[in-house]
Structure 1
Amino acid sequence: MGNILTALSRPFKDLLNIRKKDIDSGLQAVAKSTRSRSANYLSVQTLDPVRLGNAFSVADNGDIADQATLFELVEEHDPHIFSELSKRRRAVTGLGWQLRAPRDASQSELDRTAELQDMLADIPGIEDALYDVTDTIGKGFCALEIDWGKGDVWLPRRLIFVPQHDFRVDIRNGDFLYLNNGIPEPLKPAVWCIHQHKAKSGYIEQAALFRVLAWTYAYKAYNVMDMQRFLETYGMPLRLGKYPDGITEKQRNELLRAVRNIGYDGAGIISTQMSIDFIEAKNTGRVDDFLSAVEYWERKQSLAILGGTLTSQADGRTSTNALGLVHDKVRREIMLHDARQIEPSITRELLAKIVAVNGMFPMDRMPVFRFDTAEPVDQEKAVKILTDGVRLGMEIDIEYAHELLQIPRAGKDAKLLTASQIGMASDTASLSRAALSVTQTDHSVDAMADKLANEATVHEQAIIQQIYACIAESGDYDEAIAKIEQLNIDLSAFATLIGQGMAAADLAGRVKVEDKV
């Protein structure tokens, strides 16, 4: 058995020994923890850099609760950060996924891989759980607790997201500890899925993307607050009340109250002996100066999250097609970076537990989780390349051809599409044109025979692959022969080619006769 490590830095074989006890003991956290701390939502309107530095310093010693809380509040308070992070997260969750068996997998392993993929897809809320996993892109790690369903097949009933501020890091070994009413306790390996995601190098408490974004938020928050104060001060004219000498203090208070409220109420009454003047402020600065400062920090945030600003701040002047292609390349590189970090965690932290609990695979033969990150291909060009390669005598693997064309292999009992089903008339016409071409350039029978041989190569390779699969799955010569004899090989494609060849030969002969006449 392989020595696969969990997020707790322990060999995976330890999980096999303790899984029954851990699963039977139930959840370590709760679905919606009532023990979680309540956040002070007003505390980050102006985030003091000193407070931010103190939170980071404490986190470096393993106490990540304050840092994680700040990350949550910054994400809620800043729509720009939320929007850009959502784009990056959806770039991953929008991908398809599949389980990939080992390259030398037997038919039995392929069948069990398909069964395991169906089991994974049937987990309630699996797509929501994958989105929760991408929360690590900004915050460095995430924790999902498995609520196991027991029966003939043990499968998660729920994957419950637990906030990052409910954990701390053991700085001695890097393990995560769950804060149970503030008391750290080790995680139960069989009921937790932990994914760590590094935006930059360093220990996990230092590697989060929000360690960079929090500073930009702090500086931008000061600009936003100054702009609000500016608008409150200069957004409406100064209201100056005037009163004559000799009035009572009560009358002065009434005038002051009227001056203060007239900006909001838009109406008021005062004595005819009093007056209210509106004085327009001059040379007070412009709100554009504050907006420019805010836009500066938002550009820095976009650069940190997406590697560019084109998707959020296109201005019509610098948004050229060439620049768009560069940004798209950067976007894809970031998406691949995120996907490649998440894939092994899903394999190790979720798939491996399902496999171990149900005894489906040895650890060194289990399938792996993969996102579908292949870019769309021009299938017409790809078919031409493959066809030309076969005609040149190149040995092209059938599996490679399927992957290149992005056409999945047929299932075990699937009904296969053959050349004869595509249309006899169109194929005959195509081969007739080929025969005419041969007649115009080379009147030999050998040239036409070579063309027919090339057309038949694809069908020959398909049969050879079936025979090869029988041999690979057999233990001895007799078993291989028996399996080959049981193959249901469709020869209709060859019959079609022979018929087309005869038709082409007839047409070529007629062309020869017409040339002589």
Structure 2
Amino acid sequence: MRKPTPSRAPVRPLKRAPATLTREIAAPELVGTRTVWHDSYAAGLTPARLARILRAAMEGDTHEYLVLAGEIERLELHYRAQLGTRKLQVKSLQIMVEAATDDPADVQRADAVRNLVARPGTRRMIGHLLDGLARGYSVVELVWDTTGAPWMPRFEWRDPTFFHLDRVTGQEIRLRDGTPDGAPLPPHKFLIHVPDLITGLPIAGGLAMLGVWAFMFKSFSLQDWAAFGEIYGMPIRLGRFDQAHSPEDRAILRQAVTMIGRQAAAILPRDMDIQFIDAAKGAVGPDVFQRLAEYWDAQVSKVILGQTMTADDGSSLAQARVHNEVRLDILEADAGDISETLQRDLVAPFIDLNFGRPNHGLYPTIRLLVPDMDDTRQWVGMVCDLVDRGMTVGMSTVRDKLGLPDPDPDEALLHPPGAALGPAPAPGDEDGLPVGQATARATARQSADDPDPIDDLRDDLLDDWEPAMAPVVDPLVEALRGASSFEEALALLPQVADRMDLSALVDALTTATAAGRAVGVLEAQDRGDGGDGDG
């Protein structure tokens, strides 16, 4: 955290709420420009029609495109699954709030923001904001409850078709009200999330701008596949007639061919015949349609998740881990975008309305924490090494990095094993070294001047382990080498046990036990706590 900032005269919060704060500005209407009931544009979609919709969207008429973007998310299975995966990853992240400084006033503001985001509906609101990934932008209206203290907002999702982009810059989100330019959005009333996917118009950055093409072409493949599946494997029925047959006879033959296809039975004159041709032996099979559908699914996975390994057909654990890193980059970017939106459109208005604008201009910081255990362990290890070398690090800095709140004064605290429960100082040694260096140097001196007898005994015993184990292991190895199967090896085990010589191993273990007990007795006598040899 930052150092405490000198406080000046606080700015007074609002005493009376403007009317716009408590009423809904962008509520849906039964009829008019803001209705939730739309025509379908996905049914019968063609390249020409889709091109017209996208061209109109890039020229400012976004209604049909936004409706179509919502339709494909509801209708296309793979697109919905991949987009849902990306959204759920962000929604599941922990929400962290940090005070601007250690000043009590800033800590109070941070606590109020923590209570705000801990209320029910926050996760759902984040999910609504993530709708901007597909459509380019998303809007949530804040309806403030000013009857209590502090003032709290209610989150109301608004259909993106209720808004459009201004005609000059194409960047400002404006409310549709029947006028060509729309109405500007009042302050402190809307959360507007525009994901930073590409540079340019917000409407052009939505993932649906590419997803609609994949949806259309995959739909063509599935339709052809379904039609092919109705006749694949069924023989082609050819009715033969000659020029002497009348039109009535030909009609009878056509009806007979049709009846065979539907009811496997028909009648026809004796001088007419029907020939069956096996269609299943053709060169084109159903896999061509499957490959087309899988191709478009793979493209959708690349656009949404940045890869296909963990989404579709991962071939190895190592490759899946590498591709998971790519997904982590996307998750961090999405979390950063959402954090900036919440900071700008939720935290700042909440503080301004309830506490007044801070004099130093610093607000509590809100962020969605992306866990990375490997990075956290490395960071903690680096900090511990630096502290052992004499660097001083603030405890609040470490807690903020790990996402740990400051403990309450009466809260039970965790301590290292054997550490004192009080905040006793940790002095250095006689040379004035920090405690970490002093401890390390003392340990090194003890190791150099007074070697551990247990370690010496262990080293001596390990030097002679091969002669003691050879009479036990060699018969087993010889038997296993001669066995041709697992069952044969099991059958040889009783014979191997008879050939094992355990005498050398027993002698070595007996000697080690006696030596170890003697070392223990001597160390106990040196400490003055007895040495009678018991235990």
TM-score of the two chains, using structure 2 as the length reference = 0.67
Q: Is it true that 1:510 corresponds to 2:523 in the alignment? A: no
Q: Which moved more, 1:135-144 or 1:170-179?
A: 170-179
SS of 2:28 mapped into structure 1:
coil
The whole-number CA distance in structure 2 between the counterparts of 1:372 and 1:242 is 75
Q: CA deviation at 1:276?
A: 8.0
- Equivalent residue runs for 1:346-365 within 5 Å: 346-359=342-355, 361-362=357-358, 364-365=361-362
Q: CA deviation at 1:438?
A: 5.3
The whole-number CA distance in structure 1 between the counterparts of 2:255 and 2:265 is 11
2:396 aligned partner, one-letter code:
E
Deviations 1:244-272, CA, capped at 9 Å, x for gaps: 99999799689849936963xx5778799
* Residue in 1 that maps onto 2:413: 416
Match of 1:323 among 316, 319, 341: 319
Deviations 1:131-164, CA, capped at 9 Å, x for gaps: 1111111211101122322312364563121222
* Residue in 2 that maps onto 1:131: 127
2:526 aligned partner, one-letter code:
R
Superposed CA RMSD: 4.3
Q: Is it true that 1:111 corresponds to 2:118 in the alignment? A: no
Match of 1:90 among 88, 91, 101: 88
Greater gyration radius = 2
The whole-number CA distance in structure 2 between the counterparts of 1:436 and 1:99 is 42
1:50 aligned partner, one-letter code:
A
The whole-number CA distance in structure 2 between the counterparts of 1:221 and 1:383 is 51
SS of 1:194 mapped into structure 2:
strand
- Equivalent residue runs for 1:202-281 within 5 Å: 202-234=200-232, 236-238=234-236, 256=255, 259=258, 263=262, 279-281=277-279
Q: Is it true that 1:302 corresponds to 2:301 in the alignment? A: yes
* Residue in 1 that maps onto 2:56: 58
* Residue in 2 that maps onto 1:492: none
* Residue in 2 that maps onto 1:477: none
* Residue in 1 that maps onto 2:448: 441
Q: CA deviation at 1:366?
A: 1.9
SS of 1:47 mapped into structure 2:
coil
* Residue in 1 that maps onto 2:486: none
Closer, same or farther: CA 417–114 of 1 in aligned 2, 3 Å: same
SS of 2:312 mapped into structure 1:
coil
How many residues matched?
424
Deviations 1:148-200, CA, capped at 9 Å, x for gaps: 22312364563121222222111214322222468733333333221111321
Match of 1:189 among 187, 190, 198: 187
Q: CA deviation at 1:107?
A: 2.5
The whole-number CA distance in structure 1 between the counterparts of 2:260 and 2:179 is 49
Q: Which moved more, 1:387-396 or 1:305-314?
A: 387-396
The whole-number CA distance in structure 1 between the counterparts of 2:525 and 2:384 is 27
Q: Is it true that 1:36 corresponds to 2:35 in the alignment? A: yes
* Residue in 2 that maps onto 1:164: 160
Q: CA deviation at 1:297?
A: 1.9
Closer, same or farther: CA 160–305 of 1 in aligned 2, 3 Å: same
The whole-number CA distance in structure 1 between the counterparts of 2:259 and 2:157 is 50
Whether the 8 Å CA contact 1:92–1:335 is kept in 2: the answer is: yes
Q: CA deviation at 1:54?
A: 2.0
Closer, same or farther: CA 51–413 of 1 in aligned 2, 3 Å: farther
Q: Which moved more, 1:56-65 or 1:180-189?
A: 180-189
Closer, same or farther: CA 511–92 of 1 in aligned 2, 3 Å: same
* Residue in 2 that maps onto 1:311: 310
Deviations 1:94-134, CA, capped at 9 Å, x for gaps: 111122211x3313321331122112322x42211111111
TM-score of the two chains, using structure 1 as the length reference = 0.69
Whether the 8 Å CA contact 2:96–2:403 is kept in 1: the answer is: no
Q: Which moved more, 1:47-56 or 1:334-343?
A: 47-56
* Residue in 2 that maps onto 1:121: 118
Q: CA deviation at 1:393?
A: 1.8
Percent identity, please.
Answer: 23
Q: Is it true that 1:285 corresponds to 2:284 in the alignment? A: yes
Q: Is it true that 1:371 corresponds to 2:378 in the alignment? A: no
Closer, same or farther: CA 71–98 of 1 in aligned 2, 3 Å: same
The whole-number CA distance in structure 1 between the counterparts of 2:153 and 2:393 is 44
Closer, same or farther: CA 149–33 of 1 in aligned 2, 3 Å: farther
1:343 aligned partner, one-letter code:
S
5+ residue gaps in structure 2? Answer: 1-10, 422-438, 451-522, 531-535
The whole-number CA distance in structure 1 between the counterparts of 2:237 and 2:17 is 74
Whether the 8 Å CA contact 1:383–1:405 is kept in 2: the answer is: no
SS of 1:159 mapped into structure 2:
strand
* Residue in 1 that maps onto 2:70: 72
* Residue in 2 that maps onto 1:467: none
* Residue in 1 that maps onto 2:454: none
Whether the 8 Å CA contact 2:174–2:184 is kept in 1: the answer is: yes
Q: Which moved more, 1:177-186 or 1:293-302?
A: 177-186
SS of 1:341 mapped into structure 2:
helix
The whole-number CA distance in structure 2 between the counterparts of 1:205 and 1:376 is 36
Whether the 8 Å CA contact 2:28–2:35 is kept in 1: the answer is: no
Q: CA deviation at 1:404?
A: 5.6
